[in-house]
Chain A
Amino acid sequence: MQKPVQAQQKPLQPQKVFEFEKNISDSVQNRITELAQDRRLVLPPNYSVGNALASAWLILQNVKDRNGQPALKVCTPQSIANALLDMAIMGHNPAKKHGYFIVYGDQLTWFPSYFGKCASLKRIDGIEHEPVATLIYDGDEIVLEHNELGEEIIIEHKTSWQNKLKGDIVGAYATVDFKGVKRSAVMSMKEIKEAWTKNPSPANRRDHTEFTGEFAKRTVINRLVKMILQTSNDDDLLAETIVQNEDQHWDFTDAQIVSEENKAKREIATNANAGKIIDVTPEPTSAPEPKPTPEAKPQPEPTPEPAPAPKTEQQTLIPKSPWE
């Protein structure tokens, strides 16, 4: 069982926060410089790691975990550094909503948004511009063929204003030029909706029904981007980071569930029903009943019975279960 770590960590003093920030920022910046020198990472010429880190720190001050605890207090310094490094490698800027910091237990992670993914994609070697997505309305004339790699590609698409007005979206496709080949992803509305059912947070689905068109475009672009990134060259650190980052957030495989199951079973085997016997001492010597403060409403002693419990039933100690 993972225990929250905040209990042991004292809140940092302002001076210490500054040092903590400086240390982590420095180590992230040094690592980025190293990677750039080794030519493993090519940062966009107009991307400033320093600026991104500075705005990340401002945003991090307000990031909280699901218990409302500040992320900087709860998360391990290593995970903070890794999240910032992920952000910098992908060339993201939190101020442009390229992604979000999310806390999982004591781990801080960087979760790229749709915009972040598009921004990273533009930096992949061989891609000139961001992918373009198009919606297919009911009644549109479509010619579907395969490109030289065997991917489905739409080579002709005739639509009309009338079709758009009717607004029945039946599918979407996205295309991008990658190393001289037109890459494409085509999805029917059924496939798109199927993809949306994997959304772990049902509350988010409202947006998908209210802005179906925009979200269909995002889904189809995501599919295309995933295809290009996951088939990219192994020494492409940028693509690797994006893919790993994606897995970390979404791809809970069956194997992971099984490993969690085994972990729980191991813990149960060693710890369950193995602790000391807990029993009640009829008259305790310590820990007396807390005295009610004078403002507290007087609590009648003995207290009156709650309404649903008739007298006759109380005398039989195990009454018939009320819901049987």
Chain B
Amino acid sequence: MLVKALASSSAGNCYLISDGSSSLLLECGIPLKDIRRKGVDLLGLSGCLISHEHKDHSKAAGDVVKYTHIYASAGTLQHLDLGPYSYRSTAIMSGKQFKVGSYEVVPFELQHDADEPLGFLIYSREVQKKLLFATDTFYIHNQFTGVNIVIVECNFDSALLKKAVDDDAVPRPYAKRLWGSHFEISNVKEFLRQMDKSRLEAVYLAHLSDGLSDAKRFRKEIMEVVGVPVYVCDK
């Protein structure tokens, strides 16, 4: 299964996955022209899954919907402006499995300050692999088994956040919000530690925060927990 991060930061998030039979866009938080520039064949997509309505995840929804079907929770959809193309969107629900191309997708609840945010467990019938996608959440309630690939947010480190607050590099209201809305590395580690890793092949760390994260160290620390290759998604 091919995983490609087109963008992964608070400025914009967009990932492409493909199993050789069909491809999916996960999030569309960068302008359409950037998605195109990264070489995505928009008409060839089977669909686009959006986790929540914040602009760094849904900016291009109004343009992407012209090329492919959009899947998001009802809460998310009501904040997206799809104009006359809204008929090409489907409201999905946590726990309700649905089909897109050669994939089976099960959405699950995330913990973020958005309207009904969702994560996705994506199974490819073509290559029989499971991919877990969870970003913008401060913990994950559900458990998963036999996952092959994990794309998970690893936003910040508590020590770096504390230092940034002391140096006034980060406004206090922002620091206050982070704890209840984004994944801190020790919590990510705990999540991965408890997860069934029998079939795990790779972990992708997404949505690293500018200045509050250290890509090299995060990669090393997560690798120590999972024992499989860990990649940090490009900004």
Residues of A whose CB lies within 8 Å of any CB of B are 1-2, 4, 7, 67-68, 197-198, 200, 252-254, 256-257, 260-261, 263-264, 267-268, 271-282, 284, 286-290, 292-293, 295-297, 299-309, 313-315, 317-319, 321-324
Contact = CB atoms under 8 A, between A and B. Distances in A.
B46 A303 contact: yes
B89 to A, nearest CB: 9
A281 to B, nearest CB: 6
Given A305-B44, A306-B41, A280 B130 contact: yes
Overall SS of chain A's interface: loop
Nearest to B38: A308
Nearest to B108: A278
Interface residues of B, number: 84
A276 B231 contact: no
B54 to A, nearest CB: 10
Contacts of B187: 268, 272
A263 B179 contact: yes
A324 to B, nearest CB: 6
Contact of A319 (B2, B23, B123, B139): B2
Contacts of A279: 106, 121, 144-146
A267 B139 contact: yes
Interface of B: 1-5, 16, 18-23, 38-41, 43-46, 53, 67-69, 75, 79, 87-88, 90, 95-102, 104, 106, 108, 111-113, 115, 121, 123, 125, 127, 129-130, 138-146, 149, 158, 165, 168, 171-177, 179-180, 187, 190-191, 194-195, 201-202, 204, 229, 231, 233-234
A308 B194 contact: no
Given A280-B106, A287-B99, A297-B43, 15 more contacts: A197-B168, A198-B168, A254-B172, A257-B172, A263-B180, A264-B179, A272-B139, A273-B191, A274-B141, A279-B106, A293-B88, A306-B45, A309-B2, A314-B18, A319-B2
B90 A290 contact: yes
B179 to A, nearest CB: 4
Contacts of B113: 1-2
